[in-house]
Amino acid sequence: MEKVTPVDTTDITNTSGQGTKAPAGGGDRLRDILNAELELGRLLFTAGSPGQRILDSIAFLNEKLDGGKLKVLLGFEALVITVEQGTKRKVGMVDYPMPVALNANAISEISRYLHSLPDGKDPGTVLHDLERLPLWLHYDRILTIAAVTLFTVIFGYFNHADAWALLIIGIAALLAATVRILVTGRGYSYYLVVLATTLVATLVAAILSRVIPTNTPLISLIIPCIFVIPGYQLINGGWEVLRNHLHIGIPRLVVFLNVLAIMTVGVLAVLLIYNPGQDGPGLYLPLSVSLVTVTALGGLTAACYCVLMNAPRQAILVCFICGAAGRLLRNGIVMTGGDVYLGVFCGTLVISMLALLICPYWKLPIALPLVAASVQFVPGYYIILSLQGMAEIISMGQSVPYTVVSSTISNGLLSLFVAASIVMGTLLPLLIFGKERRWY
């Protein structure tokens, strides 16, 4: 009969998600190590960090603190860690709220702290240090609203809105961003904020499109709420699924789909009242001028997104370079007759390669430029059009025109392949050239 060795098992459960304070009666180093690792995982998850970075960071901290054998179960609602040294074993759990935005400054500060951590540091001190890190970088509200507005207007240009539609998009996005900040500040749930923002953006755009003459009224209605789409959830979720972290990757993709469904409800509520009709010709520039313009705008989009995700200021230049390079290659391929999917894949591939080369010298987490520069390719416009087409098919039944069915399928497939191209293009270089690298 196998001999069973007794172990010292302690469960530390934090149901509030507000920290990992250990019970009184200090002196237990293994318990302090567990608390520090739980707090590290909680901070990274609530900052929107990719799962692999969370796992690598906890493993790195465990090695620095000589925590012994480590087992981590990373879930979407809670983190469970087991540390074991000889006959002693400690088990702890911490829950956390769903991240509603990517806090790039928090990921950067935690990464900087871990890289400067000496061997054998007291785990109680590490826990204290983690709790005191300056994780929140608050940009001025006016700057944030300006970044949202500019980001949305550029997105409209990428989707061939005409000049008057860009004006409508800018005004609607500005008002929607202001409402989003006000509603969020009153403590309403994330999904209610999404719905309110979408309704305001679409209603304002619908009213303005009746006053301001535009050839692309449908684009002017849909684009103003695009900034609400959590592109980082799509990218993170795709990464997790491909890394076999299904228990965290699938929920992230579900959050992305939930937001799209809620946005579609808001858009359709307005479209049931006001049908803008078909779009006409958009804004097109000469080929040579267009390539230079979209390259600069691609970098500017990434810089705007840096403001939205609270990125440290030294990351803005890196994100601008990656965003401009990705957009240049994507549009260069499309303008020479290449596929949109191929253009997006190659564009995100270049973004990932540049991030791998630049980020170590700037001491920045690679996830920052990957997300900030790639989110411009998220096919939000076509996803919403596809969902709108599905709603028309359901409401019209068998009498639905063939053009509605074909455009719905086309938009849906386009969205699916573009989303897959973004995930594969950003992840492949990390798997091939960064397979020996630990992300912390």
| Judgement on whether residues 110 and 258 belong to the same structural domain of the protein | no
* Greater pLDDT, 251 or 16: 251
Cα separation, 325 vs 337, in Å, equals: 19
pLDDT score, position 5: 33
pLDDT score, position 418: 92
> Does some domain include residue 300?
yes
Give residue 82's pLDDT band: very low, low, confident or very high (50, 70, 90).
Answer: very high
Cα separation, 57 vs 65, in Å, equals: 12
pLDDT score, position 25: 38
Average pLDDT over residues 334-358: 92
Residues 49 and 15: beta-carbon distance below 8 Å: no
> Does some domain include residue 395?
yes
Domain end residue (candidates: 93, 109, 131): 131
> Does some domain include residue 158?
yes
* Greater pLDDT, 70 or 2: 70
Average pLDDT over residues 20-32: 61
pLDDT score, position 69: 93
> Does some domain include residue 5?
no
pLDDT score, position 357: 93
Domain end residue (candidates: 88, 105, 131): 131
pLDDT score, position 109: 94
| Judgement on whether residues 38 and 162 belong to the same structural domain of the protein | no
Nearest to 109 by CA among 384, 304, 363: 363
| Judgement on whether residues 148 and 127 belong to the same structural domain of the protein | no
Instruction: Using the predicted structure, report yes or no on whether residue 17 has a pLDDT greater than 80.
Output: no
pLDDT score, position 138: 74
| Judgement on whether residues 153 and 111 belong to the same structural domain of the protein | no
Q: Which three-class secondary structure state does DSSP give residue 385?
A: helix
Instruction: Using the predicted structure, report yes or no on whether residue 127 has a pLDDT greater than 70.
Output: yes
| Number of domains into which the chain is organized | 2
Residues 60 and 118: beta-carbon distance below 8 Å: no
Give residue 404's pLDDT band: very low, low, confident or very high (50, 70, 90).
Answer: confident
Instruction: Using the predicted structure, report yes or no on whether residue 431 has a pLDDT greater than 50.
Output: yes
pLDDT score, position 223: 92
Instruction: Using the predicted structure, report yes or no on whether residue 68 has a pLDDT greater than 80.
Output: yes
Q: List, for residues 211-250, the tens digit of each pLDDT value.
A: 998 888 888 988 999 999 998 999 999 999 988 899 999 9
Residues 27 and 93: beta-carbon distance below 8 Å: no
Give me the sign of the Cα torsion angle 361, 39, 254, 300: negative
Identity (one letter) of the amino acid at 14?
N
> Does some domain include residue 6?
no
Confidence (pTM): 0.88
Q: List, for residues 33-50, the tens digit of each pLDDT value.
A: 999 999 999 999 999 999
Cα separation, 72 vs 378, in Å, equals: 32
Average pLDDT over residues 57-85: 94
| Judgement on whether residues 87 and 212 belong to the same structural domain of the protein | no
Between the alpha carbon of residue 35 and those of residues 82, 92, 162, 431, the distances in Å are 11, 8, 55, 31
pLDDT score, position 9: 44
Cα separation, 70 vs 59, in Å, equals: 7
Nearest to 321 by CA among 303, 334, 344, 340: 303
Instruction: Using the predicted structure, report yes or no on whether residue 19 has a pLDDT greater than 80.
Output: no
CA 174 remoteness from chain centre:
21
Q: What percent of the chain has pLDDT over 70?
A: 93
pLDDT score, position 14: 46
Q: What is the DSSP string of 339-356?
A: -HHHHHHHHHHHHHHHHH
Structure tokens at 197: 């923002």
Structure tokens at 212: 């301001």
| Judgement on whether residues 162 and 107 belong to the same structural domain of the protein | no
Residues near 208 by beta carbon (within 8 Å), at least 6 away in sequence: 168, 171, 172, 220
Residue count of the chain:
440
Q: List, for residues 273-300, the tens digit of each pLDDT value.
A: 887 777 777 777 777 778 889 999 999 9
| Judgement on whether residues 388 and 309 belong to the same structural domain of the protein | yes
Cα separation, 377 vs 421, in Å, equals: 9
Domain end residue (candidates: 131, 158, 181): 131
Look over the chain and give the mean of its residue pLDDT values, rounded to a whole number: 88
| Judgement on whether residues 46 and 145 belong to the same structural domain of the protein | no
- On the CB side of 299, CA atoms within 13 Å amount to 15
| Judgement on whether residues 380 and 253 belong to the same structural domain of the protein | yes
Q: What percent of the chain has pLDDT over 90?
A: 60
Average pLDDT over residues 83-107: 92
Give residue 128's pLDDT band: very low, low, confident or very high (50, 70, 90).
Answer: very high
* Greater pLDDT, 383 or 196: 196
Q: List, for residues 137-181, the tens digit of each pLDDT value.
A: 777 889 999 999 999 999 999 988 989 999 999 999 999 999 999
> Does some domain include residue 198?
yes
| Judgement on whether residues 161 and 268 belong to the same structural domain of the protein | yes
> Does some domain include residue 333?
yes
Residue 54: give the domain boundaries. 27-131
